[in-house]
């Protein structure tokens, strides 16, 4: 009798397994996000470098290929506000973009800090001024990150939390700019490229520390872009382009969809 019960149980398990394998797979619908999604920040969030820009009176260069747009399309939030704008610093986000936030906001994403730390000027100095001037420019930029930028981020993060008290806030960092010992035959020597990458690490660390203090999530993208920096075989960042200088050092469309988007998907 006991053997019969064992055999019957085994048959039941086999039948259940067979049914499970025979059942057709169901496609998963995109996850609906409670509340609205607001994308704040600078050119890395607006999608400079990705192309297909919407018309804007302020030339914010908001791209339909930017990671916030791609995330919204995949996750169907109740509403989506694309406030990020080319050239925005922390003070610009504070004074011009926070009107999109409310008590119903469920998710906020943000990239900001590169403009505040004078990185555009640093890159120009390093490209044209030689190693000594490059190091001096990076040193001044790091001082700005530790001083004024940190204070501005505290004010900005406090205001975001006050306006969107229930929101999950994801602050995304910046990728390394250069792949060292890469394919670039011209341009900066690897020593200066490494110095610029180190400056990006310092900027990300400053942003991350302030984000954590305010209870926000910091999302590091350097790993996602590893092997796809400038001078790699498949770069996801634009190198210097004198005919389109604004897009220099910004993510391409693959940088947005394959670099930033998966990082945000994991963090949100």
CA distances from 198 to 118, 139, 143, 156, 189 (A): 15, 11, 14, 25, 15
* Lowest mean pLDDT across 29-43, 59-73, 75-89: 29-43
Catalytic residues: 43, 250
| Residue among 110, 145, 139 at smallest CA distance from 125 | 139
Task: Tell whether the model's pLDDT for residue 15 goes beyond 60.
Answer: no
Whole-number Å distance between alpha carbons of 156 and 153:
5
- Which pLDDT score is estimated for 32? 53
Angle formed by the axes of helices 130-144 and 119-128, nearest 10°: 170
> Rg (Cα) of the chain, in Å, rounded?
23
Q: What is the mean pLDDT of the chain?
A: 87
CA distance 73 to 62: 15
- Give the bridge partners for 111, in sequence order: 41
pLDDT at residue 123, rounded to an integer: 84
Does 150 score more than 50 pLDDT?
Answer: yes
Q: Supply the DSSP symbol for 256.
A: I
Q: Which domains does the chain have, with CATH numbers?
A: 32-267 (3.40.50.1110)
* Long-range Cβ pairs for the range 118-126 (8 Å, 24+): 118/144, 119/199, 119/203, 122/196, 122/199, 123/196, 123/248, 123/249, 126/188, 126/192, 126/195, 126/196
Q: From CA 221, how far away is CA 227, in angstroms rounded?
A: 12
CA pair distance 239, 249, nearest whole angstrom: 6
User: Is 213 or 3 the better-scoring residue by pLDDT?
Assistant: 213
- Our CA angle for 181, 225, 67, nearest 5°, is 150
User: Within 10 A of 115 (CB to CB), how many other CB atoms are there?
Assistant: 20
Q: Helix, strand or coil for residue 164?
A: coil
User: Any bridge partners for residue 169, and if so which?
Assistant: 108
């Amino acid at each position: 009798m006991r053997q019969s019960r064992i055999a019957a149980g085994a048959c039941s398990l086999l039948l259940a397994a067979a049914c499970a394998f025979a059942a057709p797979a169901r496609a998963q619908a995109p996850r609906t996000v409670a509340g609205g999604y607001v994308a704040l920040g600078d050119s890395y969030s607006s999608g400079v470098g990705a192309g297909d820009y919407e018309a804007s009176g302020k030339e914010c260069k908001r791209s339909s290929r930017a990671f916030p747009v791609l995330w919204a399309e995949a996750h169907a939030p109740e509403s989506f506000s694309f406030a990020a704008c080319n050239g925005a610093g922390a003070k610009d986000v504070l004074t011009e973009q926070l009107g999109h936030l409310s008590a119903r906001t469920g998710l906020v994403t943000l990239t900001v800090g590169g403009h505040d730390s004078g990185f555009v000027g640093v890159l120009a100095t390093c490209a044209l001024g030689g190693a000594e001037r490059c190091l001096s420019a990076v040193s001044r930029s790091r001082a700005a990150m530790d001083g004024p930028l940190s204070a501005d981020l505290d004010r900005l993060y406090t205001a975001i939390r006050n306006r969107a008290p229930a929101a999950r806030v994801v602050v995304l960092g910046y990728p390394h700019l250069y792949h060292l010992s890469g394919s670039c035959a011209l341009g900066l020597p690897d020593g200066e490229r490494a110095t610029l990458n180190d400056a990006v690490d310092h900027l990300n660390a400053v942003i991350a520390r302030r984000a954590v203090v305010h209870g926000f999530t910091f999302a590091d993208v350097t790993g996602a872009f590893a092997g796809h920096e400038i001078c790699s075989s498949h770069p996801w960042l634009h190198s210097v382009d004198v005919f389109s200088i604004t897009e220099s050092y910004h993510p391409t469309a693959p940088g947005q969809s394959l670099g930033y988007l998966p990082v945000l998907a994991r963090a949100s």
